[in-house]
Amino acid sequence: MSKARKSCGGKREKSKGSKPVAKEQVGEEKVTFNISKEENFSEWFTEIVKRAELADLRYNVKGFIVFQPWSVLAMEKMYRFLEETLQRKGHKPYWFPTLIPESNFKLEAEHVKGFTPEVFWVTEHGDGEKLSERLALRPTSETAFYKMFSYWIRSYRDLPLKTYQRANVFRYETKATRPFLRSREFYWIEAHCAFASEREAMEQVREDMETTKEVLHDIFGLPFIFFRRPEWDKFAGAVATFAADVLHPDGKVVQQPSTHLLGQNFSKPFNIKFRDRDGREKYVYITCYGPAVSRIFASVIAIHGDDYGLRFPWRIAPLQVIIVPVASEKNEGVIKKALELKEFLLANGIDADVDLSERSVGDKFYYWEMKGVPLRIEIGPRELEQQRLVVFRRDTMSKEEIAEIELLSYIERVSKEIDKNLIEQADKAFENRIVDAKSKNEIAEALDQGKIARCNFCSVSHEGEKCAEVIEKELKARVRGTRLEPEKPDGPCVICGKKASAVVYIAREY
């Protein structure tokens, strides 16, 4: 699938300070996939999942995959940033059972209607003995959390109650499954909060959206748009749903964190009351928020990867620095120095390793570039003698030479540059991906170009659902919703021709 490198290194310039070094251009061929990410994203994505050993798809239950170390290490860091942010904003961590009694589901009619078709049910135990009540493998945990909320909340002093858990959830997805993007088990965080007033609950929804921006964009480097979903596409049991959509290179969007104003739709059936300052019993107002870490990871792959493989923002890279000895023969001094550098970096909080495999030096370079390690340090006899290092940056595919003593200060500076560079590249790629459409044909043209169509629409209440069905049936796309700050329509509905009451965004999805 790829061509081997002809040699392991290009010319290097001697310098006292930090100076660019040739990008492996002399006597070499750059190794790339034989798949263009831009021209064939679907095949590229499938291949990088396999080649970078992100997931093994051979597990013998359809729709379930084995997450391999390279994805788990990245996602553990992603979890950490999300959890630290939630805890800083007052959320407390919980671990809830995986099993939810069917009776819990039946308490909220819209919720059970929305999720029952996707539920995996546990109906027996041991040698086939039937359970007295079916138990659901949680597709989401509202009905587990709120059962306990009814025990925990008694007074206004118990509010606000801000909780979350990290968990895996199970949904019998009927569409074609795809690693990380769409599967029957995925890994996420779900936050559930209760408040004394609807105003406070809506403030939490806004805070959830701020959290999404702080983590998904500013740390993970993912551009997105937050939409208010139309009435027919709300979370089951919600008063209002807001969701972040990320547009992938193939022109399809994936829903990332969503936050929901549940109002009192769950507090009433679950009898979650509190005694207010005025002595009266009142029902709480509830919100929930769900960043799906495994799905977010799919967008990290899709947005930052290139024709050489993965690229990771520094702070969530599974491995931040790989050290490659480049001696022509096994050189104990070079290897010793490489191992010393590794321990030095680890002691300073930098995830580092040394490649002592039997691969050729050129193959090592290709392998770690494909895996997306942000920095590669090359050290050979000359570097050892001169106490200098050659450092390769994955984000720019460039090298420079530095003094060994400068390594920590170099990494401190460059790690910030790497994240800034990836965010800027992602934001730039997202520019001009939204186009105005005045007709169904113009919507189709925009979608075929991998863009999001912005157009006038009759209504985002249930009155507009028939026009949305036309879009789904004829254009194989969906109405994503409206901007958080409503835009004023300037013409008739693009589908039915009636007076428009909203400006909506239309896109294809996975």
For residues 188 and 175, give the distance between their C-alpha atoms in angstroms, rounded to a whole number. Answer: 20
Q: Is-contact 489 456, C-beta < 8 A?
A: yes
Determine the 3-state secondary structure of 144 from DSSP: helix
Q: State mean pLDDT over 268-295.
A: 97
pLDDT of res. 75: 98
Q: What element of type H or E holds 286?
A: strand 285-290
pLDDT of res. 328: 67
Structure tokens, 434:
């939204």
Binned at pLDDT 50, 70 and 90, residue 486 comes out as: confident
For residues 124 and 380, give the distance between their C-alpha atoms in angstroms, rounded to a whole number. Answer: 63
For residues 480 and 60, give the distance between their C-alpha atoms in angstroms, rounded to a whole number. Answer: 35
pLDDT of res. 355: 97
Asked whether the CA dihedral 54, 59, 64, 67 is positive or negative, the reply is negative
Interior CA angle at 319 toward 343 and 347, to 5°? 25
pLDDT of res. 112: 79
pLDDT of res. 27: 35
Q: How many helices (H) and strands (E) does the chain have?
A: 13, 24
Cα 255 from chain centroid (whole Å): 9
For residues 316 and 47, give the distance between their C-alpha atoms in angstroms, rounded to a whole number. Answer: 21
| Residue keyed to tokens 């118990």 | 158
**Helices assigned H by DSSP within 352-406:** 361-371, 381-386
For residues 184 and 120, give the distance between their C-alpha atoms in angstroms, rounded to a whole number. Answer: 10
pLDDT of res. 110: 86
pTM for the model stands at 0.92
pLDDT of res. 113: 84
Residue-wise pLDDT for 83-97, tens only, equals 999 999 999 999 999
Q: Delineate the domains of the chain, giving CATH numbers in brackets.
A: 56-303 (3.30.930.10), 321-414 (3.40.50.800), 434-509 (3.30.110.30)
Asked whether the CA dihedral 226, 509, 493, 460 is positive or negative, the reply is negative
Cα 16 from chain centroid (whole Å): 42
pLDDT of res. 29: 44
Cα 257 from chain centroid (whole Å): 8
Residue-wise pLDDT for 350-379, tens only, equals 999 999 999 999 999 999 999 999 999 999
Q: How many Cα atoms within 13 Å fall on the side-chain side of residue 302?
A: 26
Phi-psi bin for 120: left (phi > 0), alpha (psi -120 to 50), beta?
beta
For residues 352 and 336, give the distance between their C-alpha atoms in angstroms, rounded to a whole number. Answer: 15
For residues 427 and 81, give the distance between their C-alpha atoms in angstroms, rounded to a whole number. Answer: 21
Q: Which residues contact 254 (CB under 8 A, 6 or more apart)?
A: 181, 245, 246, 248, 295, 298, 299, 509, 510
Binned at pLDDT 50, 70 and 90, residue 3 comes out as: very low
Q: State mean pLDDT over 55-78.
A: 96
Residue 331 in this model has a pLDDT that exceeds 60: yes
For residues 113 and 117, give the distance between their C-alpha atoms in angstroms, rounded to a whole number. Answer: 8
Greater model confidence, 116 or 158: 158
pLDDT of res. 33: 61
Averaged pLDDT of the chain: 92
For residues 21 and 8, give the distance between their C-alpha atoms in angstroms, rounded to a whole number. Answer: 14
| Residue keyed to tokens 């769409």 | 182
When mean pLDDT is compared across 22-31, 63-72, 216-225, 380-389, the lowest value belongs to 22-31
For residues 454 and 393, give the distance between their C-alpha atoms in angstroms, rounded to a whole number. Answer: 38
Residue-wise pLDDT for 397-456, tens only, equals 999 999 999 999 999 999 999 999 999 999 999 999 999 999 999 999 999 999 999 999
